[in-house]
Amino acid sequence: MREHVLAMLKESDDFVSGQELCGKLSVSRTAIWKAINSLKEAGYVIEAVRNRGYRLVSCPDVLLSDEIQSRLETKWFGRKISYFDVIDSTNSEIKRQAEKEFIPGMLAIAEKQTLGRGRKERHWESPAKTGIWMSFAVKPDLPPYKASMITLVTALAVAKAIKDVTGLNTEIKWPNDIVIGSRKVVGILTEMSAEMTTINYVVIGIGINVNMESFPAELEDKATSLYIAGGTKVRRSSIVAKFGKYFEKYYEIFCKDGNLSGIKDEYEKLLVNRNKEVYIIEGDSRIKRVAIGIDTDGELLVKDDNGNIEKIMAGEVSIRGIYGY
């Protein structure tokens, strides 16, 4: 009920009468009154004037599922949201949920993670109320080896959402990070449960540094936030909602094509170090190549000094720009 009341108040710049709310939502005045009070408790400032109704004055920057749902314009992304103040890891949570019952686009989102993780169990710093720590699940009707491409689909959707909401230009560090300048602002962790030939589900975890003003010493040189980069605080639910819209669009193109041909050009426009020298690092070896783009399977294409083109598969190696990222 709260999210419907909130959505109606948001749609109107003026007062919405209690009668209109009751009529449109087919509930009693008491139900509306309760929903308004509960929104106020959650930090929404709502003006109530006798004979005129209710007017939304301001919204808190909360990730409450109603706040997100009232902004979502998606068909299936985030239609079921689980919201947590604190959780170990939203990726772990969505896996636990998907094992019991899989719902396409099911989303878990937390204000804080205690065991946020990156690839190879690396720690992902997820402090309270300043970032977006979320995971969701999909089940593409594709063979398991194609699942890693969803990381690239996700990266493109996140970069587009950030640009739309904040105006900030980001770049994608193939395959799974998003950077501003030479610092990481977003990390993506894709995990899969599969049989030999079918995918049970894929969990996509996204960490976005939104409003933090500083980072712990060990991340100071590596990480940034949208606030640090752009100078203004950003409403997190707007980014979640925009992301959902872009993700659905690009994911559906990807599923239809069965590869990245439909989004390759857009992805490449945002590829950091495109046409620049990079090191390909594998164990102790470090080889210099020029990054030229991706192929339709999401592999990175690099060129050697003789003009020979090689394909690099995600997961095998790490890529570093010669100057910074």
Binding status of residue 192 toward ligand BTX by CB under 6 A: no
> DSSP E strands: which ranges in the chain?
45-49, 53-58, 81-87, 107-113, 131-138, 171-173, 177-180, 183-194, 199-209, 277-282, 285-294, 300-303, 309-312, 318-321
Binding status of residue 177 toward ligand BTX by CB under 6 A: yes
Binding status of residue 209 toward ligand BTX by CB under 6 A: yes
- Return d(Cα 63, Cα 85) in angstroms, integer: 10
- Minimal distance, residue 43 CB to ligand BTX, in Å: 23
Binding status of residue 187 toward ligand BTX by CB under 6 A: yes
Angle at 145 between CA 196 and CA 188, to 5 degrees: 120
- Return d(Cα 87, Cα 23) in angstroms, integer: 39
Taking Cα atoms as reference points, which of 82, 50, 246 lies closest to residue 164?
Answer: 246
Burial of 101 from C-beta contacts in 10 A (0-12 / 13-18 / 19+): exposed
Binding status of residue 189 toward ligand BTX by CB under 6 A: yes
The mark string for 80-99 relative to ligand BTX (x by CB under 6 A, - otherwise) is ---------xxx--------
Binding status of residue 133 toward ligand BTX by CB under 6 A: yes
Cβ atoms within 10 Å, residue 262: 16
Name the segment binding ligand BTX (CB under 6 A); options: 136-144, 159-167, 183-191, 247-255: 183-191
The residues in 269-298 that bind ligand BTX, with binding defined as CB under 6 A, are: none
Among 207, 244, 293, 298, binds ligand BTX (CB under 6 A): 207
Shorter beta-carbon distance to ligand BTX: residue 184 or 242: 184
Q: List residues binding ligand BTX (CB under 6 A).
A: 89-91, 113, 116-119, 122-126, 133-135, 176-177, 184, 187-189, 205-207, 209, 219, 222-223
